Each structure stands twice: as C-alpha cells, then as structure tokens.
Structure 1
Amino acid sequence: MPHTIVTETCEGIADCVDACPVACIHPGPGKNGKGTDWYWIDFATCIDCGICFQVCPVEGAIVQEERPDLQKTP
C-alpha cells in the first residue's frame, strides 16, 4: 500500500523527492495552509519502499498508508 504525504503538515523540504527510487513524489501547485510548498505521492507509482518515510525530517508529514483524504493532489 502506498505512503501518503499529509499536505497540510508537509513543509516542502523535499528530502523525499531525491530519495525516492521510482520518482513518485511531485510538487503540488501553490502553498499549503502553513504557507509552505507541498509534495504529493502518486499512489499508482509508489512501491511502498518506505524511504520517504525514513528521510522526512518533519514528524507526521508522511503516513505509512494510502490516505487520499490527507493528501491534496493537483
């Protein structure tokens, strides 16, 4: 099951983007409610490797399940 970036918790640091082996993490348009850039995970491409979860320095920004209700997608 793919991971989910919690859009309103993401701070746009993007360590996950470089670490992702299948390039399934993409920038979202505009800013989130915190005023920061945000990223989203393409559920169809994610291989559930967990690297994004391991490298993200923002606690609670990535959850280890598919939760479209927590992740905005463009």
Structure 2
Amino acid sequence: MTERFVPGLLKGMATTARQLASPTHTHEYPDVAPDLPARSRGVIALVEQNCTSCMLCARECPDWCIYIDSHKEETPPEREGGRARQHNVLDRFAIDFSLCMYCGICIEVCPFDALFWSPEFEYAETDIRDLLHEKDRLGEWAAQVPPPPPLDERAAEAPEIAAAEKPDRRRGRR
C-alpha cells in the first residue's frame, strides 16, 4: 500500500511547491482598483430626459423593485387653431436595489433607452433601507455609462436593410 501512497504524496507536494513559487493573482481591492471589462454590469443608471413614464420597466420587473410616479401636463398648441398636447412628466423614478436581482429585463424592455448598465459597483450602504435609490442618484451613474462598442465591419448586414436595398422583382415582370 505504501508503494502507491508515496508517489501520490510526492506528486501532490510538487504541485504545492510549484504554486507557492508562482506569483499571486489577487489584488488588494480597497487599495487597488480592479481592472473591469469594458461593458461590465454594475448598477442600473437612468437617463431622465429619455424616460417617458411608459411603465414598461416597472411592469416587466420580476421583483417589482422599480417605482415610478408621473403626471400629465398639457403643452399649448404650436399654432392657432391647433390642439393642446399632453405628455407625461416624471415625478419619481426609484429602484430598490435590496430587491433587485440585476437580471437586466428593465434595460432590455425600455423602448426609449432611458436605462443602462453602469460599471459603478461601489454603492454599498450600511442600512438596507438606504438601497432605495431615487432618480437623482440613478442619474449620477448615467455619466459613467461607456459608449456602445463600434459595429463590426465584417458583420452581416441587417435583414431589414438588405431587404430595403434589394431591387423589386415585380417591376421587371409584365
């Protein structure tokens, strides 16, 4: 039995010695900022000007952690004889990050590009009640959202564009 045990033990100790001699891959986080990927997900940011209070994000959220309050305002007609238009004005937009599961559904369903992933990840609070962030705090994170990556030149053309540029086959027929 010892003839099988000793080579295995020596092989394990050799692996341990190699690992002790290799450099570490850890960082001292609070002192050294981590190198995050370009499009890393941190926290949800809000661009308030783009939000139309359509409530799609709040309706689709599986955790119901998005709270939106708005009211309608009328704008005067642009010219005489025209009718007044109504538009929604955002009063409150809040996300409770103590409930959020960071699934990104709200960002995907937003038709007006008002929600984005921000790379900010240092937003810890000492009290769980402070994880309810209002639109001003969410708006501060929008400044840190990186621009989208450039399009790949080698990618296939979108089917909608290809169909629009395709010549009409019916014109050639009689």
The TM-score normalised by the length of structure 1 is 0.67
1:63 corresponds to which residue?
Answer: 116
Contact 1:4 1:41 in 2 (8 A): no
Match of 2:55 among 7, 10, 14: 14
Structure 1 residues 44 and 2: CA distance shift in structure 2, 3 A: farther
1:2 aligns to 2:35 (yes or no): no
Q: Determine which structure has more spread, i.e. the larger CA radius of gyration.
A: 2
Q: Return 5+ residue gaps in structure 1 as ranges.
A: none
The one-letter code sitting in structure 2 at the alignment partner of 1:4 is A
Q: How many residues align?
A: 68
Q: Residues of 2 paired with 1:44 and 1:2: CA distance?
A: 12
> TM-score, normalised to structure 2's length?
0.33
Distance 1:15 1:35, change over 3 A: closer
Q: Following TM superposition, by how much is the alpha carbon of 1:28 offset from its aligned partner in structure 2, in angstroms?
A: 3.8
Pick the structure with more strand per residue.
Answer: 2
Determine the C-alpha separation between the residues in 2 that align with 1:41 and 1:5: 10
Task: Flag the structure with more relative contact order, 1 or 2, with Cα contacts below 8 A and sequence separation at least 6.
Answer: 1
Letter of the 1:56 counterpart: C
Preserved CA contact (<8 Å) 1:17 1:23 = yes
CA 7–43 in structure 1, closer or farther in 2 if over 3 Å, else same:
farther
Q: CA-to-partner distance for each residue in 1:14-49, whole Å, 9 max, x for gaps?
A: 111110000010014668xx9623532222221110
| Structure 2 unpaired stretches of 5+ | 1-41, 73-86, 121-135, 141-174
